[in-house]
A and B are shown apart, each in its own frame.
Chain A
């Protein structure tokens, strides 16, 4: 090994603590890239593989009741490679051991042949067959939640009839990787499941002889989906077609898209912070090292080493540090990435998980980390190159400090000499001071960004469950019904208040922009349901026109008072032109609201209701559940308590995992920045401090020279960090915003305080470590060595 390379190894050995501190920051950069991009790719690959192998549909549609003879015409549409005509119906579940009724979706599978679209992965058992009673295959998540295995049974209420289903298989479907029950915000497999039943059996149960109500289609590569959708809409229109849509609007797929978008957003926001800090730390350490080795640089030049050799020497040092960081980061990134993928996957139903561990990801993260490190080194290395050899041979002149006069005020009169020394040092290296402050502020910001989600989620829960949707139970009827059904609901035990609603799928159109969503109509005297305007004030459902959520308004470029075309999908795509009479706040899904009367007027089919929101006397809950199970018109129930708890549990589990990771990352940054800055100060001022000790100052007094500067840095970093944290949180909120989900930007004082507590503690620990060094300063050797 070349002698200069040995010097690198010994330098790294000697500076191990600082090297490790920087390498760890770099490791965080590399790890977060690998984690986020790795998890993104794994999930993307897994999804694609599942879709591909199990023939996930590319166009979907439903109708009220369409004749099976349409099949040949559907298959004849240009680009269609396979079509599956199915019966898909909501069912109520009555699982033993569960008081509350669950809900599910029953899906038909063809008899005596393979499904062509949305094939099932059979985890256990087999698929149901006709002629053997009511056999059912259930999705894995539901089976797991109840501990079901093939051979078990559970009760349902199908089309008003009580029925016991025999489980023969446990399956997974590309169509329901992510499945939400009605009214749920996160999957709750305990109270919601998907079941597959033989076509013949299901047709009988729902009186759907010779007809279907759901359609999935696979298409050939490069097919123009727009035109397929148009053709299908035309075919299904006479049969109550509800508008075909592609994968982008398919619920499960759309959720996965949103999740992947969030991972991508994370990959863009978090790693740059670490890369920036590591570049800065490299700059700080290297420029100090080179200042100390000025004469060595001169010596190398005198010995005839060229600029490339000398510059290369210092570059290698940085490269070695970066490699240490990259190795640690790759290991950590792999581990975190797998953990994150599992966390996400536990949330979804995949038959298998592909860990996408391609080399290019590691090469990419190593390349980015190295580039950041070297970009931090450029300035110092350049200073080596331009250092004239003769100058390098001369000892450096004493550092030039500036006097501390500000106007006519003399700081030295106000502060002690020691404090003045600290201030002079700050003024001498203002850029470094600012950068150190900024680096520390970034760790505060990182913590704020990871902790604020608790605040936002709590706010979201408050808004959704305690302000807008305050019902205890939401009932959905198996079809839109006449008002008389409410009388039935009112009679259910324990019911205190009933608020009917009507929901209908629509397309909103403004010029060439369109969006699909559900239009929700509420009655005027709502109390359980509230529409909140942008300032969170409740508003009445308008007598005329409709209220849309902020995101819908943004995406369709609509303002208050504008006219929008409402395409009534259930009314043969009849268009009603309605004014926008309000903009509402909404966190989940895309929504538009109308008043009950207004919608009924537009629909022209009388006073119809789709469901009701109910307040209930808790003491009578069990009786209520029993009665619901006996009531055929009720297709599904959603219980707010359960969905709120499940929501909180799921979200908080996710956030807690991520927050713990971020706290570790933020501590590493703080430590890297504060420790290095203290060490460098110590190295620059060792003689000064040793002299002070010799003059008779105490250890505490001498340390204070250094600690004052650190304290100023750490304290200034707090408000700056809060500000940066708020900005970063904002970008996270924006990055995470999708059509399906939006989190509000709420940062409580608590969060700022906690972020500061963590950073202050980490700073204190690093300061104490350096303080020990000051205490053990070897006075004689420090003063003897020449600088």
Chain B
């Protein structure tokens, strides 16, 4: 499903979203009154210094965390009114996650790590196909410890896309990687976005990466500081690290 530029549809509608963490008597305002929309099929990069609330934002949008106030709509579902069971369902059916530290289960092979997802989703691809998409068809029986960082992250991407999610949320997917492997991983994400039309959000604090996205959103101190569309995009290989 290629992106139709004519009539952009919002997949997320977020308004006045705030998150306050309370640890004992200390209150941390992790996110403060954020409102924005995300467009179906687009690739968005979230920029901002460490601690600016990017992960908090992604976690709430991905149904991992609950907001303190404000609303998030996924299509016509109001995530902010969901209970735990509904959030679990939402994550299972619609969202794919990629984490900075890959988070593969060390005792499962690459194929099994992907199968972890295909077993519980409604219309998954074959685990092997998902691995092939990220170029790891020859690594299926390897355990995470036998894979390089970049390969592990690609397994994680294969795991995230294997269920054919509508949204793919990546929290610093290249954060632990060097530039060369980082580019391979970004390539894989771009490929998924283009070929499957998966709405993709990528958190990074590497400003160089922003040019591969359709849209760039910047956070500062828990607030939205900037939001713009890229007139022209570059390929991951052209990213200056």
Contact = CB atoms under 8 A, between A and B. Distances in A.
Contacts of A388: 64-65
B75 interface: no
Interface in B100-114: 101, 103, 105, 107-108, 112-113
A787 to B, nearest CB: 11
A290 to B, nearest CB: 14
B65 A306 contact: no
Given A11-B107, A393-B59, A304 B112 contact: no
Contacts of B101: 295, 395, 786
Residues of A in contact with B, size category: 20 to 34
A345 B70 CA distance: 78
Interface string B71-102: 00000000000001100111111010101010
Contacts of B159: 303
B112 to A, nearest CB: 5
A301 B103 contact: no
A786 B100 CA distance: 12
Interface stretch (B35-43, B116-124, B191-199, B214-222): B116-124
B65 A389 contact: yes
Contacts of B97: 299, 302-303
A306 B85 contact: yes
B103 A299 contact: yes
Given A7-B107, A296-B105, A393 B85 contact: no
B62 interface: yes
Contacts of B113: 3
B14 interface: no
Contacts of A7: 105, 107-108
A3 B124 CA distance: 15
A14 interface: yes
B92 A303 contact: yes
Nearest to A786: B101
Contact of B116 (A14, A303, A389): A303
Contact of A302 (B64, B105, B121): B64
B144 to A, nearest CB: 11
A371 to B, nearest CB: 28
B115 interface: yes
A321 to B, nearest CB: 16
B157 to A, nearest CB: 14
B116 A390 contact: no
A304 B89 contact: yes
B196 to A, nearest CB: 18
A10 B119 contact: no
B23 to A, nearest CB: 10
Contacts of B121: 304
A2 to B, nearest CB: 6
Nearest to B99: A393
Contacts of B62: 302
Contacts of B59: 389-390, 393
A304 B64 contact: no
Contacts of A306: 85, 88
A390 B62 CA distance: 10
Interface in A390-416: 390, 393, 395
B108 A304 contact: no
A6 B143 CA distance: 13
B51 to A, nearest CB: 12
Contact of B103 (A2, A4, A6, A296): A296
Given A2-B119, A3-B115, A390-B64, A301 B107 contact: no
Contacts of B88: 301, 304-307
Interface in B31-73: 55, 59, 62, 64-65
- Residue among A6, A7, A11, A302 with the highest chain B CB neighbour number at 10 A: A302
Given A389-B65, A393-B59, A305 B108 contact: no
Nearest to B92: A304
B170 to A, nearest CB: 12
Interface string B133-171: 000000000000000000000000001000000000001
Given A6-B108, A7-B107, A304-B92, 14 more contacts: A2-B119, A3-B108, A3-B115, A10-B107, A11-B107, A295-B103, A296-B103, A300-B116, A302-B97, A303-B159, A305-B88, A305-B120, A306-B85, A309-B120
29 contacts: A3-B115, A3-B116, A6-B108, A6-B112, A10-B107, A10-B108, A295-B101, A295-B103, A300-B116, A301-B88, A301-B91, A302-B62, A302-B91, A302-B95, A303-B91, A303-B97, A303-B116, A304-B90, A304-B91, A304-B95, A304-B121, A305-B88, A307-B84, A309-B120, A389-B64, A390-B59, A390-B64, A390-B65, A393-B103
Interface of B: 55, 59, 62, 64-65, 84-85, 88-93, 95, 97, 99, 101, 103, 105, 107-108, 112-113, 115-117, 119-121, 159, 171
